[in-house]
Amino acid sequence: MAVSPWNVEGLPDETRKLLQSYVEDVVNALGDGLEAVLLYGSAVRKDFLPGRSNLNVLLVTTSCELSVLKRYVPVHAKWNKEQIVVPLFLTAEELRVAAVVFPLEWWDIADSHRVLWGNDPFVGYDADSRYLAGEVLQGLRGNLVRLRQRAVEGGATGEAVTILLCLSITSLLPVLRGVQRLLNRSVAFEGESVLSDLEGCLEIDLAALREVWLLKKGHRTPGRHEVPRLLDRYLESLGRLAGTVERRVG
């Protein structure tokens, strides 16, 4: 079954063609068990860095039984080399439930995705905000605690800390967009815009988070002796941010 051409703004032609071939493989592998293929994350937010950013995919399937997952295994073996990570597998009903129990992730995908194949499962549904504050606050504090743990696991070396900081800011950005939603701000999708908006409305200095964001994008290269200081500034800034948000929405 051929996949019709489509365009994702900001993606290089090579990446677009790669995704078209990937979708063809997914459709052939899952057949009638597949309802939709969605691209989300940096690839549709203009934060995509060719050769560095992963490609994040959501597969909506009629079932998530092991037999369905096994049919995808050869696809993963082929395409994970191209930075297409293991997809999220959800049925349409599970996606509706996720709107209640995982509102942060649900909104983040719903607000910024591209349908590569099938019908858009987000049409006609909205997230339930009852649990959004709890998930956001957990995300802020959890990121802080995990970063400390993983710095120790990595031997606290400059190389390990650099990698961990980039992973931390990547996982933090959806949480920060959740903060924007809680504060009834217009949600921004590019990292710099999110940080600038929260700095203004919360009256807080997020310079250390911005430094790490630039590091992730390859626009900053701290020296060996500067990395530990950057980690300390980042942890201190993230702790202040968590406290500020807790006082505003807790």
The predicted pLDDT at position 65 comes to: 95
Measured distance CA(234)–CA(165) in Å, rounded:
8
Please count the CA atoms within 13 angstroms of the CA of 187 that sit on its side-chain side.
18
The predicted pLDDT at position 1 comes to: 44
The predicted pLDDT at position 42 comes to: 87
The predicted pLDDT at position 130 comes to: 85
> What pTM value is reported for the model?
0.83
The predicted pLDDT at position 221 comes to: 82
Measured distance CA(52)–CA(50) in Å, rounded:
5
DSSP code at position 54: -
The predicted pLDDT at position 6 comes to: 62
Return the structure tokens found at 145: 């605690």
The domain limits of the chain are 13-118, 129-249
Going by CATH, does the domain composed of 13-118 fall within 3.40.50.300? Answer: no
Measured distance CA(64)–CA(22) in Å, rounded:
20
Measured distance CA(139)–CA(239) in Å, rounded:
12
The pLDDT tens digits of the residues spanning 131-174 come to: 899 999 999 999 999 999 999 999 999 999 999 999 999 999 99
Measured distance CA(128)–CA(23) in Å, rounded:
31
Q: What is the rounded (10 degree) CA torsion for 125, 131, 137, 142?
A: -80
Q: List the CATH code of the domain at 129-249.
A: 1.20.120.330
Which residue, among 30, 20, 88, 19, has the nearest Cα to 59 in the 3D structure?
88
Low-confidence ranges of the chain (pLDDT < 70): 1-7, 250
